[in-house]
Chains A and B, each alone.
Chain A
Amino acid sequence: MEHVAEHQVRAHAPANTMRPLSYRVRQYRAETEDTFSIMIEPEDGQSIGRFAPGQFNMLYAHGAGESAISISSDPRHPRELWHTIRRAGIVTNAIGRLRKGDWIGVRGPYGASWPMHEAQGKDVLIVAGGIGLAPLRPALLQILAERHKYEGIFLLYGARTPDDLLFRRQLEQWRGRLDAHVGVTVDRAPTTWRGEVGVVTTLIPLAPFNPLRTVAMICGPELMMRFTARDLIDDGVPMDQIYISMERNMKCGIGFCGHCQWGRYFVCKDGPVFRYDSVQALMGIREL
């Protein structure tokens, strides 16, 4: 179990783990042109229960199929369960057509969480790219709610354009906080944009964290995570204090089917959150 930290929360597969629970869509919110969030509630009182930041659910759209989707809401309010989803295929498009009152099946929560306990008493550096902010949002919400447990809080977020930024209103609120450093950058922007322009790694030198006493949580496309981790290591952050959230084609969610095998790991069961020193070698293998 060297790929996770000692206190990372891990899913325990219940006996009926392949049977989805009945939920109803309560709210739908468009985030960007191709991304939306839905809030779902249990239909008959039976819920998935509590979840930890970084875990995911298998969402089932009737007649279309299942997809692994990270939970994007506040873990202190597990009954207000939000997922933020990019329309990318048949299932996510079907989920995107659901509206208030529509049925959806839910299995979960699955996977290893962000290292919330290990981060206590340290600087926390959260680096998100594109929709990668969604799985990190529960961690940030929990950290901000328990602000006294952590040292400096740094959120660095990059997206293609200003129109591709998620949770824009909340980002503004976070940027207004005096007890957190929030950097937002886009790849290209009209001149009306008053924020940074450049890839998310260009924000790293502007964030005054203490490398040796920092826990870094990175989520985004694999390439972005690899380059971010490399820059952090160059800046002195130890590899065993860097965590990434991986994405693979997850089907069962519990490590039975093998679809998400990544070297000796199953991303659904052993991840999706991995400590970087345990997977760095895998990230360089092209066949994986």
Chain B
Amino acid sequence: METLEPILAEHPFLKGLPDHYLEMVVGCASNVVFEPDQFLFRDGQEADSFYIIRKGRVALEIFIPGAGPLAIDTYSDGEVLGWSWLVPPYHWHYDARASEQVRAISLDGRCLRGKCEQDMGFGYELLKRFAHLMERRLHATRLQLLDVYGTRR
């Protein structure tokens, strides 16, 4: 039977993960497809998963009363979307909408949290990878706040 293991093993986010930990991840993974304009998740909903985008683009949106939705970030091929499944109270803070058809691997957050609790080594490996992701996104967000394109003639 074909599994998602070879794909996940090659993905930069999980590369180098010991085999037995990779098996634990694969056990929580499934293939998903979202059609254009379909929401992967919405603000306030329970955060019960994260996604590895295989193909397509997802816009992270915030709804501004009186102005409508505004895209503040996008995720494309190969990128990892979502870490609210890891942080209590496990709720999404934004809307994630497929800008085009999206093929992704969904990782079940409840399933992973359970395994993290049982095996702290596994939990630490996952946390290290998410911390790196968060650091890059935080850095990019700070640059966005600086309005870096404003001054050149």
Contact = CB atoms under 8 A, between A and B. Distances in A.
A114 B72 CA distance: 33
B71 A188 contact: yes
B152 A220 contact: yes
Interface residues of B, number: 29
A131 B153 contact: yes
B148 interface: yes
A88 to B, nearest CB: 5
Interface in A239-263: 247
B143 interface: yes
Given A69-B153, A191-B59, A191-B68, A199 B148 contact: yes
Contacts of B4: none
A154 to B, nearest CB: 15
Given A205-B78, A205-B79, 18 more contacts: A88-B153, A92-B153, A130-B152, A158-B149, A160-B150, A188-B71, A189-B71, A190-B70, A190-B71, A191-B61, A191-B71, A196-B76, A197-B59, A197-B71, A198-B140, A221-B149, A227-B143, A227-B148
B136 to A, nearest CB: 8
A198 B146 contact: no
A149 B97 CA distance: 41
Contacts of A219: 152
Given A86-B153, A191-B59, A206 B78 contact: yes
Contacts of A199: 140, 143-144, 148
B140 A221 contact: no
Contacts, number: 96
Which residue of A69, A86, A223 has the most chain B CB atoms within 10 A of its CB atom? A223
A29 B147 CA distance: 25
A223 B76 contact: no
B74 interface: yes
A221 B76 CA distance: 26
Interface of A: 67-69, 85-86, 88, 92, 129-132, 158-160, 164, 185, 187-191, 193-199, 201-202, 205-206, 219-221, 223-224, 227, 247
A67 B73 contact: no
B103 interface: no
A206 B151 CA distance: 26
Nearest to A185: B74
B140 A189 contact: no
14 contacts: A92-B153, A130-B149, A131-B152, A160-B147, A189-B70, A190-B68, A191-B97, A194-B99, A197-B60, A198-B144, A206-B77, A206-B79, A220-B148, A224-B143
Given A191-B59, A198-B140, A201-B140, A85 B153 contact: yes
Contact of A221 (B69, B74, B100, B148): B148
B57 to A, nearest CB: 7
Interface string B48-84: 0000000001011100000011111110111100000
